[in-house]
Each structure stands twice: as structure tokens, then as C-alpha cells.
Amino acid sequence: MAIATTVSNYLAEHDVAYDVLTHPHTATSGESAEAAHVPGTRLAKSVVLEDDHGYLMVVLPSNRQVNLGELHRQLNRSLGLATEGELGSLFSDCEIGALPAVGPAYGMETLVDDALAEQSDIYFEAGDHEQLIHVTAETFQSLLGEEARHGRFSH
């Protein structure tokens, strides 16, 4: 599978420089980082949460986990994980488990963990289990847009 169409179009619309890094098929973002020889701190993974207000993409380093309690405190929202069926509908051009960490490309509210801001460059899933997109941290922030909220909510 190639880069997800939505991601490819979004990158073209923003006219950004990026590289594609191909790696052996993996099942998780942690495995992708290892297979691609990329530090987990630089591989942005996405976790999609939901509540009565809708969906929220949380973007964090692949070697960290979302602290739902902290997110609840910061946002005053009771969020739970989106189901696999919902993810299939929301990201119809992606393989489940390889969701690109660019919520705005999918019209999704996005929250970014500050741990990613400490990195000079970022990798994220291209929409399949065999490719990563590589951009500078500055480019990644521009792709997320000014609406993306930032905070510390992972461990």
C-alpha cells in the first residue's frame, strides 16, 4: 500500500518537504520505530479518543502512553478509545493500526504531547504498516496547524 491518499493530498496542499522511509511490515508503532531504526521518541503515534463532543486525536511519541486521567483533568472531558469500526470509517484510506498522526488532514481536533516538541525531526505512519513519513519538527507543527492544542498528558 502507498501513502494514504488523504495524507498525500494534505502534504501536497501544504507544499512541504518530506521523505518516505520504508520498513518491513509491523503491527505497532513501537515495532515500526524499531524496524525503521528510528528512536521511539521521534515517531509520532496517534490515539483516537471520543466522547459526546466527538473525536479527538492525541499525538504522542510511540514510546509513551496516553494518561487518560490527566487528559480528563486538563480538558474536563471523559474520553474513551474509539472503536476499531469507528477508526475504519474515519480513516477509510488507512490500515487499522497505522493511523497518520496528522488529525487536521482528517478534519479531527488534535492534541499534541509536549514530549514531541523536544525533537528536531518527526516520523509518522503513512497509513500502512510499511512506510513512515519523515519531516522536520517545524514542518510537523505546521501540518498540525495553530488549532492543535499542546500539553503534557503521557507517561
36-60 tens-digit pLDDT = 999 999 999 999 999 999 999 999 9
> In the predicted model, what is the mean pLDDT of residues 88-101?
93
What does the pLDDT read at residue 118? 86
What's the rounded Cα separation, in Å, for the pair 155 and 61? 10
Q: Are 30 and 146 in contact (CB under 8 A)?
A: no
Q: Are 44 and 123 in contact (CB under 8 A)?
A: yes
Domain that holds residue 57: 5-151
What does the pLDDT read at residue 49? 97
Q: What's the mean per-residue pLDDT of the chain?
A: 94
> In the predicted model, what is the mean pLDDT of residues 112-126?
93
Which of 83, 36, 87, 34 shows the shortest CA–CA distance to 63?
34
What does the pLDDT read at residue 138? 94
The CATH number that applies at residue 21 is 3.90.960.10
Percent of the chain residues topping a pLDDT of 70: 99
Which of 98, 115, 117, 109 shows the shortest CA–CA distance to 64?
115
What does the pLDDT read at residue 127? 95
- Structural domains of the chain, count: 1
Q: Count other Cβ atoms within 10 Å, centred on residue 155.
A: 10
What's the rounded Cα separation, in Å, for the pair 15 and 79? 34
> In the predicted model, what is the mean pLDDT of residues 12-35?
93
Which of 134, 150, 106 shows the shortest CA–CA distance to 16?
134
What's the rounded Cα separation, in Å, for the pair 74 and 111? 11
> In the predicted model, what is the mean pLDDT of residues 117-133?
94
Which of 107, 106, 108, 101 shows the shortest CA–CA distance to 141?
101
